[in-house]
Structure 1
Amino acid sequence: MGKLTTHVLDTVRGTPGKNIRVELYRINDTGETLIKTVTTNHDGRTDSPILNDEEFESGKYQLVFHTAEYFKAHNVQLDDTPFLDDVVIRFGLSEAREHYHVPLLVSPYSFSTYRGS
Structure 2
Amino acid sequence: MGRLSTHVLDTVRGKPAENVAIELDVLRPDGSWRRLKQVMTNADGRTDQPLLTGDELSTGTYLLTFHMGAYFKAAGVAIADPPFLDVVPLRFSVADENAHYHVPLLATPWSYSTYRGS
Aligned pairs (5 A) from 1:22-61: 22-28=22-28, 29-61=30-62
* C-alpha RMSD over aligned residues: 0.9
Q: How many residues align?
A: 117
When structure 1 is superposed on structure 2, of 28-37 and 8-17 the one drifting more is 28-37
SS in 2 for 1:90: strand
Distance 2:17 2:75 in 1: 10
**2:76 is the counterpart of 1:75:** yes
Runs of 5+ unmatched residues, structure 2: none
Distance 2:38 2:74 in 1: 19
Give the structure-1-normalised TM-score: 0.96
**2:23 is the counterpart of 1:5:** no
* One-letter code aligned to 2:10: D
What is the aligned-residue identity percentage?
Answer: 53
Distance 1:80 1:106 in 2: 18
* One-letter code aligned to 2:42: N
4+ runs deviating over 6 angstroms: none
1:43-88 superposed Cα distances (whole Å, 9 cap, x missing partner): 0011110011121111000000000000000111222211100110
Runs of 5+ unmatched residues, structure 1: none
Structure 1 residue aligned with 2:17 = 17
Give the structure-2-normalised TM-score: 0.95
Distance 2:8 2:31 in 1: 30
